[in-house]
Structure 1
């Protein structure tokens, strides 16, 4: 809560700004005063006006402002922040947690946290994780170790996209020293082993490694992981990273840990566009199935588009690895793809749905969205079918109707894609 010394803020205005009740404001002010009083300051209430910050000892208050006190660390304020913090707590706690204790720590009511728990449970359920309530002890998370790591890594990855220095990443959940060492050493390993990654893929692997170090240190190693054979570069990189994690965790790494590292690297590496180097029947079969389906059902023949075939084969090779091991990857462009490439979306969705009858794998909408981009480019290349945006402009002129029509004609001639809607 921010308040200047000479500024008075009414209770109702504070409640509106913070999206909480006035009762919560009063409780927060009382909690803040308990923290501020030893530092020579407190909030005082002026009847009819509001709260004002009163500084009794400027020297002590100044020292408070210049230091980073853990007791005054920013806590979750919005519902979305509370959901993130609750997820992080349940995913990293070895013991049962009571909502009453968390409510006191974050200066909110238990009822507020109880309302957020529905979203928390729904999020955990996507990873087949459950919360069980124990009388007089609280709630505890149950589920597989792979699922716990996946859920925690995905959460931190999402937060890192929004705010790289988020407290849950830099201090609360991950060890700062471990994160810094991984950030400096992992790129060298990937470069040495000739593993190409996107920035997002490298960030995800770094976060996963940091999560793995924490879990191994706390006594939660992977006990089982059967991974299929990967290429030599991925295998070499996984073993080098495993040696690094072993040093950071100060504990030996089991073979399942190394196998799971191989899966993550294989699922996120960027393949070279060289179809001759890819000899996987599953990937080739899916590419042919998609293109044959589009040709048969929609009468668009893309079978002879070698570039499209190569692009799909390159993408699907890593996609199959992800869906096989249920590794989720976000697609921030999904809604735009649905909106601007509806025809390619319908074609690809129908093809994947039909293919799904013959395979145990389930392909998410995020993955389908990436395939749609390739199909859309193929349609535009072969049939000139694609999303062409026509910018709309409003022509405003006070020189009369004849001048408006003349300017309109000049614009239409010079900028053919421009659309001038009639008013």
Structure 2
């Protein structure tokens, strides 16, 4: 099985279908014909596992599974044993990284090319990407004639690289022992896990499941590297500082047991290395009271957390200042995080993609907050770390929402008489319950006698031509599903938000750009022509992309300047004839966000609309087919 087949099955298995061949072609960045041929070949394989990709005339393809258990075993084999041959550049790069990092000797280029069934020139192209990845860890790829390729650099950075690019790129953290077998035998992994757990319990150290997984990974890597006579180097001054910490003592105990059971000799540097990991993962016991937590956190950390909150509020006006729960959560997160930053350690975040997709506003706020850490510690903050900060911000915003939640109020207008008005009244009550406050019903002819001061919108069974100060939703008395969706859109302010931010002048459909830079420069120059932005605008958008690519999955990217630049809030939109690579994700629909630098309070409803869009794959593909602005606008509004 090749990697494209694997991706196609993953798309059909993890999303509600059906998907047309053109939709799948966009996601996989191949032709519709290739998709159809792949599906034929995949079905020949799947029939052995009682599953099939079925074709539905006029609607597309959907995965049917007749035996869940059998398919589950097949899928686990595909994902964990890596039996497929990588065909896409991204998968080949991962394969090459694993080969180079796990093999102690030189790797010959001819062997790599033969294993991957690619030419030497294609391999050279993939090696450029490998070198770029290694450079993030200050590592180099040495190429010696007659010997081959070998990774060189600081041992600690080599191990961090192994951990990040080989063993931390899995979705599940429940049982991953299979993923480590290429490092050391499974029974040794079980021993390492049991030793760690017993010492953590003995010394009442609490770490998360992800941190436990990371610790097992790093100790397993350490065992392999020490056996290959590769040990970490830590300066004596740092070791002396670490020796005074509780974590160093616990690390010594862990090492003592592992040495006895696995017959590996850990030098003092390696004990210090494990204590660094413990410092970077430790959590505060949940039973501590707030005053005890305050004593646990030093003034510098509290100062950093306060500065982060202030910077976020200055940029986005989220009114987070004064939220003591958020401040405490940030402080507790920052205490181990600062240790991670000091030693350039990355803590994997298995929720990262979901956080970016579901909570883009909180993620953007976290990007701004992380600037404080970058300025203090002169290091680039990893996306995974930003994702964890975003979670704390999202929790704070949810608390705000709960405190400020106001039930929308509506008036029913019905021309058919009291009976139908009452029927609609009870249908709405049954559907929306406490989410909607129906203040009464009225006839159409009495509408001009009504006060609209305490009404958010009108629900009417007849067309209302007069211009009213509130939105009007025309529905059927029987209240169908489409009527319910119309009401939900108004309740969530979606229609007004779309009307407010959509601009015909800045909507460009079916364009032929090939890179994110081309898209950003094109839109930026349009805004410059209209004197909407200054000369620094394009650079500001590109600067934001350096923090973390704004491609959020499902073919959508939402770039924006690092600081608000415009005098109004609106969208610039581009759809592309073909997907382009944007931060290693395919993108075909771009929303360039422009935020009023004087009014930032309206960001939440705008991001709520964008989150719903990111979740709606069929809608994205409808938007990509649109040829005119009116068609695009109507599709976006669900008309």
Q: Output the TM-score relative to the length of structure 1.
A: 0.69
**Following the alignment from structure 1 to structure 2, what is the Cα–Cα distance between the partners of residues 320 and 181?**
30
Mean CA deviation greater in 339-348 or 324-333: 339-348
Task: Please identify which structure carries the higher helix content.
Answer: 1
The whole-number CA distance in structure 2 between the counterparts of 1:308 and 1:159 is 29
Q: How does 1:10-409 map to 2 (within 5 A)?
A: 17=38, 74=83, 76-79=85-88, 80-105=90-115, 110=120, 113-161=123-171, 169-170=180-181, 172-225=182-235, 226=238, 228-229=241-242, 233-247=246-260, 250-272=263-285, 274-294=292-312, 302-354=320-372, 356-382=374-400, 384=402, 409=428
CA distance in 2, matches of 1:413, 1:243: 62
The 2-side partners of 1:243 and 1:406 are apart by: 72
CA gap 1:74/1:335 in 2 versus in 1, 3 angstroms = closer
Indicate the larger mover: 316-325 or 411-420: 411-420
Kept after mapping to 2: 8 A contact 1:99/1:138: yes
Listed as ranges, the gaps of 5+ residues in structure 1 are 3-11, 21-71, 389-400
The aligned residue for residue 46 of structure 1 is: none
Segments of structure 2 that go 5 or more residues without pairing to the other structure are: 3-32, 42-80, 407-419, 437-482, 488-638
Are the counterparts in 2 of residues 322 and 328 from structure 1 also a CA contact under 8 Å? yes
Query: Could you tell me which residue of structure 1 aligns to residue 467 of structure 2?
Result: none
Q: Distance in 2 between matches of 1:319 and 1:92?
A: 28
Q: C-alpha distance in 2, partners of 1:19/1:260?
A: 51
Residue 435 of structure 2: aligned partner: 416
Q: Distance in 1 between matches of 2:146 and 2:249?
A: 49
Secondary structure of 1:253's match? coil
Change (3 A) 1:386 1:318: farther
Report the CA distance shift for 1:265/1:116 in structure 2 as closer, same or farther (over 3 A).
same
Question: Could you tell me whether the CA contact under 8 Å between 1:156 and 1:207 is conserved in 2?
Answer: no
Q: Secondary structure at the match of 1:94?
A: coil
CA contact (8 A) 1:91 1:152 kept: yes
Preserved contact between residue 380 and residue 386 of structure 1 (Cα < 8 Å): no
Contact 2:177 2:189 survives alignment (8 Å):
no
Give the CA deviation at 1:205.
0.7
238 and 136 in structure 1: CA distance in 2 versus 1, 3 angstrom threshold: same
- Which deviations, in whole Å up to 9, do the C-alpha atoms of 1:286-340 show, x marking residues without a partner? 1222234456666665454332222111111111111111111233434444454
Q: Helix, strand or coil for the counterpart of 1:194?
A: coil
User: Partners of 1:73 and 1:306 in 2: how far apart?
Assistant: 47
Compared CA separation, residues 19 and 92, structure 1 to 2 (3 A): farther
Q: Which structure carries more strand by proportion?
A: 2
Shift in CA distance, 157/95, structure 1 to aligned 2, threshold 3 Å: closer
State the SS of the aligned residue for 2:137.
coil
SS at match of 1:96: coil
Residues 37-90 of structure 1: CA deviation (Å, up to 9, x unaligned): xxxxxxxxxxxxxxxxxxxxxxxxxxxxxxxxxxx9946444455433321221
Root-mean-square deviation (Å): 4.1
**Aligned-pair distance for 1:420?**
1.7
Name the CA shift for 1:387/1:102 in 2 (closer, same or farther; >3 Å): farther
In the alignment, the residues of structure 1 paired with residue 142 and residue 300 of structure 2 have an alpha-carbon distance, to the nearest angstrom, of 40
Q: Distance in 1 between matches of 2:127 and 2:316?
A: 46
Asked if 1 retains the 8 angstrom alpha-carbon contact of 2:107 and 2:149, the reply is: yes
TM-score by length of 2: 0.47
- The residue number in structure 2 matching 1:25 is none
| Residues 340 and 387 in structure 1, CA contact (< 8 A), matched pair in contact too | no
Residues 195/329 of structure 1: CA separation in 2 closer, same or farther (3 Å cut): same
Instruction: Assess, with a 3 A threshold, how the Cα gap between structure 1 residues 352 and 201 changes in structure 2: closer, same or farther.
Output: closer
Tell me, in whole angstroms, the C-alpha distance in 2 between the residues paired with 1:347 and 1:419: 33
**Alpha-carbon deviations, 1:328-371, whole Å to 9, x = none?**
12334344444544544444433432564344243233322322
Q: Give the whole-Å Cα distance in 2 for the aligned partners of 1:165 and 1:276.
A: 36
CA separation in 2, counterparts of 1:352 and 1:168?
A: 32
